[in-house]
Amino acid sequence: MASSTNEGSVSETQSGKKSKKNTNQVDESQLFTVPDGWKEPAFTKEDNPKGLLEESSFATLFPKYREAYLKECWPLVQKALGDSHIKATLDLIEGSITVCTTKKTFDPYAVVRARDLIKLLARSVPFEQAVRILEDDMACDIIKIGTLVRTRERFVKRRQRLIGPKGSTLKALELLTNCYVMVQGNTVSALGPFNGLKEVRKVVLDTMKNIHPIYNIKTLMIKRELSKDPELRLQSWERFLPNFRHKNLTKRKEPKKKTTKKEYTPFPPQQPESQIDKELATGEFFLRESVKKRKKMEEIKVKQAEVLTKRQEERNRAFIPPKEKPVMKKTNKAPSEAKIDIEAIKAKVRKAKTKKLGAPAVNPVPQTTPAYDKKKKNKG
């Protein structure tokens, strides 16, 4: 009896362990999914009634062309930041915007959101979109793309590829990621949820690495459809996603004129000979001036004689008669005598005679009577 009770207790403990493992597994799987419609509670003054201990501030510079727009929308910026008790100052002389906390500020993260707001305004993001950063579910990302490509022409082409014809590529990216994307100068400003910002950064960096954005947009479209199916949430999506392989380009064309590099030598090239060195080598340097002049005159006379002979030859060419072609007599070939067909001529004559009126036939054909006519005659 005792053994049976012990066995029962052991089996209960084992089943208890298994049930604990199952509950742990269920809890871990539930952590991966966020319930639909769940929202984090807002941070109120009751959560931090005493406020902040010290003042914190952030400042950013803005370009000259944004000055007019910031002047217009500055009252709206102050009103939006006034709800979270943050002070904002616009310095047009230095070209900077500063945000700082006050004694009434209770949310410690509000100043960070205000810093992101002024950064977006400085990067040409309109106020209507930039104000959304003050919401809890929103974040921003400013991607620097100016140093990712070496040549300026290539950088402009790839940046235009990201925007697309009439902004169609950028619009498709915004719809798939639920983010607002602004391409301005050497930066790309993105505003939206965290998951969307991650995808936007990947697409922008891949475009600057010469990967067309349409490939990433296609994968995002497939992921969007797969996320609607609750059964595929915990499964791997690699089998559904396309694999775009980078094709090897053809070999670079070789230049017509190939330059062969000379062998490296540490010694400098030999110095060219001067006129005096050449005269020393031939011995002309030691001659008298009268002999040198005489030699030069002889060389000049030889050259003049060569030029005169050439000119004389050119003049004589005009008097040389051209070669005449031999005249060929045209001989008319006698036409080949055609063979006369006598039989054909005779046949024609016969036909002509038969056609004439009153002319007897040449070979009259005897008339044949049919057999049944002869029988009638015999009977009669």
Give yes or no for residue 12 having a pLDDT over 50: no
Q: Per the domain annotation, does 324 fall within a domain?
A: no
pLDDT category of residue 137 using cuts at 50, 70 and 90: confident
Q: Per the domain annotation, does 335 fall within a domain?
A: no
The residues, ordered by sequence, that sit 6+ positions from 179 with a Cβ below 8 Å of its Cβ are 173, 190, 191, 192, 193, 196, 197, 200
Owning domain of residue 310: 275-315
| 123 and 73 belong to one structural domain | yes
E-only strand ranges, the chain: 57-61, 86-91, 96-101, 139-144, 180-184, 187-192
Cα–Cα distance list, 47 to 42, 43, 50, 109, 112 (Å): 10, 7, 9, 13, 18
The pLDDT value given to residue 4 = 44
Average model confidence (pLDDT) across the chain = 82
pLDDT category of residue 14 using cuts at 50, 70 and 90: very low
The pLDDT value given to residue 324 = 84
Q: Give the whole-angstrom CA distance, residue 184 versus residue 204.
A: 13
Give the pLDDT mean for 372-377: 49
| 240 and 161 belong to one structural domain | yes
Minimum mean pLDDT among 92-96, 218-222, 264-268, 339-343: which range? 339-343
Contact in structure between 84 and 134 (CB atoms under 8 Å)? yes
| 223 and 241 belong to one structural domain | yes
Q: Per the domain annotation, does 358 fall within a domain?
A: no
| 125 and 145 belong to one structural domain | no
Q: Give the whole-angstrom CA distance, residue 86 versus residue 117.
A: 12
The pLDDT tens digits of the residues spanning 39-67 come to: 778 888 888 888 888 899 999 999 999 99
Last residue of a domain, one of 81, 113, 136: 136
| 124 and 81 belong to one structural domain | yes
Helical spans, DSSP H, in 178-288: 194-208, 213-227, 275-282
pLDDT category of residue 356 using cuts at 50, 70 and 90: low
pLDDT category of residue 220 using cuts at 50, 70 and 90: very high
Last residue of a domain, one of 247, 263, 294: 247
pLDDT category of residue 191 using cuts at 50, 70 and 90: very high
The pLDDT tens digits of the residues spanning 330-346 come to: 555 555 555 678 888 88
The pLDDT value given to residue 358 = 52
The pLDDT tens digits of the residues spanning 73-88 come to: 999 999 999 988 999 9
| 150 and 162 belong to one structural domain | yes
| 149 and 211 belong to one structural domain | yes
The pLDDT value given to residue 122 = 94
The pLDDT value given to residue 321 = 86
Q: Per the domain annotation, does 217 fall within a domain?
A: yes
Contact in structure between 117 and 133 (CB atoms under 8 Å)? yes
| 123 and 218 belong to one structural domain | no
% of residues, the chain, pLDDT over 90 = 44
Number of folded domains that form the chain = 3
The pLDDT value given to residue 21 = 45
Q: Per the domain annotation, does 262 fall within a domain?
A: no
Contact in structure between 350 and 359 (CB atoms under 8 Å)? no
**Phi and psi torsions of 182, nearest 5°:** -130, 120
Q: Per the domain annotation, does 55 fall within a domain?
A: yes
| 174 and 230 belong to one structural domain | yes
Cα–Cα distance list, 230 to 175, 224, 235, 304 (Å): 22, 12, 10, 104
The pLDDT value given to residue 3 = 43
Q: Per the domain annotation, does 89 fall within a domain?
A: yes
Higher pLDDT, 217 or 10: 217
Give the pLDDT mean for 243-247: 72
Give the pLDDT mean for 222-237: 84
pLDDT category of residue 140 using cuts at 50, 70 and 90: very high
* Domain CATH number, residue 93: 3.30.1370.10
Give the pLDDT mean for 99-112: 92
Last residue of a domain, one of 315, 339, 373: 315
Give yes or no for residue 27 having a pLDDT over 70: no
The pLDDT tens digits of the residues spanning 266-306 come to: 888 888 989 888 888 888 888 888 888 888 899 999 999 99
The pLDDT value given to residue 189 = 95
